[in-house]
């Protein structure tokens, strides 16, 4: 009976910790920077619009990943390179579910701009540090294995 009560207590404690961790990330976040590591380490300030939404168990990411606004030229008059820059290279969007175990968040994309990214079995995990209106996500691993030169993403809560 003692073992059963002990296991029940541990389970409740883990659920409370996971619930508290999820509450720290729940909300809408703006991406402020993406810092790469390794020999060519650099910090890219995010100057263009971005929104990262986290509910209790789902996420949605949408952002412009360039230093300048995307082209608003008429797509019918744009070159292939201009179209690729405006609609492919400079824009990221995906959504799905996530789980949070301790300080590790794993995203499971269900829909994405890139069909390859939303292919079944894809995932990415991050080490999470969230306090108040600031959060950092440090890449840990993907389905292909541990990150050799993880990026560190910083965010500010906007809601």
pLDDT score at 22: 61
| DSSP secondary structure letter of residue 70 | P
Model pLDDT for residues 20-66, shown as the tens digit of each residue:
456 699 999 999 999 999 898 999 999 999 999 999 999 999 999 88
Domain ranges of the chain: 2-157
Predicted local distance difference test score (pLDDT) of residue 21: 55
Q: What are the residues whose beta carbons fall under 8 Å from the beta carbon of 66, sequence distance 6 or more?
A: 48, 85, 89, 90
CA distance 103 to 108: 16
The DSSP line for 5-48 is HHHHHHHHHHHHHHHHHHHHH-EEEEEEEEE--STT--EEE--S
- Please tell me the predicted confidence (pLDDT) of residue 150: 96
Q: Write out residues in the chain with pLDDT < 50, as ranges.
A: 2-20
pLDDT at 7: 36
Q: CA–CA separation, 75 vs 79, rounded Å?
A: 8
Q: How far apart are CA 106 and CA 31, in angstroms?
A: 18
Q: Which CATH class is domain 2-157?
A: mainly beta
Which pLDDT belongs to residue 67? 85
Helices assigned H by DSSP within 26-120: 80-84
């Amino acid at each position: 009976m003692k073992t059963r009560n002990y296991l029940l207590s541990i389970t409740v404690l883990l659920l409370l910790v996971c619930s508290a961790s999820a509450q720290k990330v729940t909300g809408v976040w703006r991406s402020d920077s993406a810092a790469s590591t390794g020999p060519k380490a650099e910090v890219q300030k995010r100057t263009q619009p971005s929104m990262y939404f986290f509910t209790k168990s789902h996420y949605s990411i949408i952002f412009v990943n360039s230093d300048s606004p995307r082209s608003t030229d008429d797509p019918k008059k744009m070159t292939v390179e201009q179209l690729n820059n405006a609609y492919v290279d400079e824009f990221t969007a995906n959504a799905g579910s996530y789980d949070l175990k301790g300080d590790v968040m794993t995203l499971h994309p269900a829909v994405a701009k890139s069909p390859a990214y939303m292919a079944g079995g894809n995932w990415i995990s991050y080490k999470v540090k969230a306090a108040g209106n600031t959060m950092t996500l440090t890449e840990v691993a993907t389905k292909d294995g541990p990150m050799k030169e993880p990026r560190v993403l910083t965010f500010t809560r906007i809601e």
